[in-house]
Amino acid sequence: MENNKIVCHCCGNLIEKEDFLSIEKVWGYFSRGKDGQKHQFNLCEACYDRWIQGFKYAPDVTEITELM
């Protein structure tokens, strides 16, 4: 592991100051062969946009007025 470097798992680009998606999933029973495994990956915004274009339904979007 590189020290504290965040990399997009899809395109391999270094994620620096931009916002990005970080997903962590612990698979439970009824998964197909991933029981008890924790999966984690990061996606840069460009890869996220490309990914959701393949969704049948777009993500639910809520406008947040107070950004942290």
Chain positions contacting Zn ion, by CB under 5 A:
8, 10-11, 44, 47
Tell me the C-alpha distance between 54 and 68, whole Å: 29
Closer to Zn ion by CB, 36 or 59: give it.
Answer: 59
Minimum distance, C-beta of residue 46 to Zn ion, in the bound complex (Å):
6
Nearer to Zn ion, 13 or 27 (CB): 13
Whether the Cβ atoms of residue 38 and residue 7 lie closer than 8 Å to each other: no
Comparing CB distances to Zn ion, the nearer of 35 and 49 is 49
Asked whether the beta carbons of 6 and 15 are under 8 A apart, the reply is yes
